[in-house]
Structure 1
Amino acid sequence: MAYNEFLADRIAQFFREKSVPFEARKMMGGLCFMVDGKMCVGVTRDELMARIDPEMYESLLQRPGCKEMNFTGRPMKGFVFLTDDATDLDVDLNEWLQLALDFNPKAKASKKRKKKS
């Protein structure tokens, strides 16, 4: 299992309950949840990746179970990884998911890659 399927199911359930249209895509060795064509949250192994408002980034890093996302050797401001300490309880998971949803309208979509002919 490349990602925690139970956590992915909890995320999908949250979006369905909120009537948020989403698309789940396998990428980066995990599962990414796209909202309005933009990466919103994802699951990598047993951690939740959330795209949050960069203005809240530093303060949110102080919360239990929250750490910087660092794929390339440099932290990506506005993206965090959340461990079980931050997502075990539904109320905590839902708060993080809502933070990501709240930022989604302000997030920039990644550039579409041109298909090679």
Structure 2
Amino acid sequence: MSSSWILLVVAGLLEVGWAIGLKYTQGFTRPLPSVLTVAAIIASMALLSFAAKTLPIGTAYAVWVGIGAFGAAVLGMVLFHEPVTAPRLFFLGLLLVAIVGLKATSGTQ
């Protein structure tokens, strides 16, 4: 996996972090969670930007969003007791297949 893909995966994981962090900021009224969430947003966007220098932007953005959506949904179930249903798990599985498929068909390494 190239360094651009590694940066993109880290950017996606940071997106998970800031998406979950939003819940802990309580509308940006809690200073520490707010600062950490904003820092994760900035770092995630910066890494996405660096990765997009060499990766197709459509693929990079879709993978970034997919990692964020998948991670936020799973952590929502684990941390916030959001519903865990067969249909949700099925569609999360489809999302994971789509992320891997985009990587596999991007024409980059």
Which has the larger strand fraction? 1
User: Per chain length, whose mean CA-contact separation is higher, i.e. which structure has more relative contact order (CA < 8 Å, sep 6+)?
Assistant: 2
TM-score, normalised with respect to structure 1: 0.25
More helix by share: 2
State the structure with more CA Rg.
Answer: 2
TM-score w.r.t. length of structure 2: 0.26
